[in-house]
Structure 1
């Protein structure tokens, strides 16, 4: 990763997307280590974490992670998850945070030098281009080493730097708590990450 000590950094973590990418590579994110690593690489101004939450549940598996992040240096951005029924008739939840990420990145582009986007979603290509026009450098963190790849080729090309999450596993990761055969059976983690994202809490 190319960072300068005087860089004013801002991190933008698409919680569902990063969770899915890490699980596909067989490890969990240690969010304390992640924050420590980027504090070493510049002047960390803000670290945003975005996720949708299921409301009116007696217990939410993601709540311990969200509470920990909120007290340990992250700026939480949340909204209610929307319920839907999948093709097999099962209740699922989803919550797209793209607009929230876009608004915050555009605002931070006014004061930060280097924006780090933890997502491989190709929809962010235009956003990355827009903040680059404001003078910011953008690093995208995702992976092309999973099956299928999690990072859009268009997004990778637009970014100033692309860092494969697999290359950070020794720095910000820890072994996954899920057996490999269970990981491989989860083909749609992004839609259902709320069922078990708490496994990634610090």
Structure 2
């Protein structure tokens, strides 16, 4: 699927990839992810898209965003919008589809292969547009959850579908060792 001399760009829909990895039961090690694609091709750019809640004292995603920003990823963020839905529940909305689509179209003339980390069916027209510019498109998501986390029409449109679960051993963060509670053997007390 990948050629050593092709120019490659990664487009990561942060919230979509996070949800897919969580559904599969693992955390992504973004250093391993970037290194894996650098090994496969000539990585031109790795974009990561996420919305941030600005008014929170602490945002759980802020450490990740900062780490990615310092470690070779091009961060594209915007403030998330907070609203109350019709049932009175507080919701946060932060769709980054337009930003990702614009960046992908701008990069299309400089790359041979695009890897989109998202299962969002709204990206199908983007994938078709990128393909018309003679760029191959691989989509990374999962069909191993119920329901699948990739829209069928996006999967059909892509040149390649990469099952996220099959990347788990390559880009998954190793599980943290579980510390056993300190125990004392009853015979040692005697």
1:87 Cα deviation after fit:
6.2
Which consecutive unaligned segments of at least 5 residues does structure 1 have?
A: 178-202
Q: Note if contact 1:112-1:136 (Cα within 8 Å) is conserved in structure 2.
A: yes
- Pairwise mapping of residues 93-104 of structure 1 onto structure 2 (< 5 A)? 93-104=92-103
Q: Deviations over 1:52-94 (max 9, x none)?
A: 0001221111100000000001000000101123566432312
Per the normalisation by structure 1, the TM-score is 0.84
* C-alpha distance in structure 1 between counterparts of 2:17 and 2:85, whole Å: 22
* C-alpha distance in structure 1 between counterparts of 2:147 and 2:175, whole Å: 19
Q: Name the counterpart of 1:92.
A: 91
Q: Name the counterpart of 1:35.
A: 34
Q: Using CA pairs below 8 Å that are at least 6 residues apart, which structure has the higher relative contact order?
A: 1
Q: Name the counterpart of 2:158.
A: 159
Per the normalisation by structure 2, the TM-score is 0.89
* C-alpha distance in structure 2 between counterparts of 1:45 and 1:156, whole Å: 24
Which consecutive unaligned segments of at least 5 residues does structure 2 have?
A: 177-190
1:148 Cα deviation after fit:
1.4
Q: Name the counterpart of 2:71.
A: 72
For the pair shown, the structure with the greater C-alpha radius of gyration is 2
Q: Note if contact 1:24-1:147 (Cα within 8 Å) is conserved in structure 2.
A: no
